[in-house]
Amino acid sequence: MTKIGIIIGSTRPGRNGEAVARWTYDIAKKRNDAEYELVDLADFNLPIYDEPIPPAMGQPYSKPHTKAWSEKIASFDGYVFVTPEYNHATSGALKNALDFLFQEWNNKAAGFVGYGSLGGSRAVENLRLILGELMIADVRAQVALSLRDDFENYSVFKPQPHQEATVGTMLDQVVAWSGALQSLRK
């Protein structure tokens, strides 16, 4: 069965990202079209990129944290990136985690759940540019959660009811493309 990793893109203590990712995961796991798993960047304790050989030049990796991250990411057919917006881009933690690997990301699909003052839209645009280089096919639908309208006091996550349908559309597209790209990786 197609496997989709829902990646929490913030590692900040007190982050909003965890509630957003859990909400996304709760919606996803009601579906029966794929296996969904929450992946918390904070669990991997990745330092600032520290491999001597660029990942696009291939393995072996020299560090246990790289090997653990590689094994987890390689196990999926597609991803949902739950991203905050930091200074009009994705988080440094997520960019760093993307930089660590290459082949593990290639020829897979991804969708986005962004959050920020403008729904994290600039962070998602930034991610789309990065994913092109990693050969990840990014779907059109994206979830844009507003800190003002989908959170109370910018910190208690209370998504507006219409947001759930957008998660569904985004997942439809991620699952379809993740399945289609499997044949390319064989």
Ligand X SMILES: Cc1cc2nc3c(=O)[nH]c(=O)nc-3n(C[C@H](O)[C@H](O)[C@H](O)COP(=O)(O)O)c2cc1C
Contacts with ligand X by CB under 6 A lie at: 10, 12, 15-17, 84-88, 116-118
Shortest spacing between CB 127 and ligand X, in angstroms: 14
Between 61 and 151, name the residue whose CB sits nearer to ligand X: 151
- As a whole number of angstroms, the distance between CA 159 and CA 164 comes to 8
**SS3 per-residue string spanning the chain:** CCEEEEEECCCCCCCCHHHHHHHHHHHHCCCCCCEEEEEEHHHHCCCCCCCCCCHHHCCCCCCHHHHHHHHHHHCCCEEEEEEECECCECCHHHHHHHHCCCCCCCCEEEEEEEEECCCCHHHHHHHHHHHHHCCEEEEEEEEEEECCCCEECCCEECCCCCHHHHHHHHHHHHHHHHHHHHHHHC
Shortest spacing between CB 145 and ligand X, in angstroms: 10
Shortest spacing between CB 124 and ligand X, in angstroms: 11
Between 10 and 173, name the residue whose CB sits nearer to ligand X: 10
Shortest spacing between CB 57 and ligand X, in angstroms: 32
The size of the chain, in residues, is 186
Between 62 and 155, name the residue whose CB sits nearer to ligand X: 155
Shortest spacing between CB 60 and ligand X, in angstroms: 33
Between 68 and 118, name the residue whose CB sits nearer to ligand X: 118
Between 2 and 16, name the residue whose CB sits nearer to ligand X: 16
Residue 23 has a CB neighbour count (10 Å cut-off) of 20
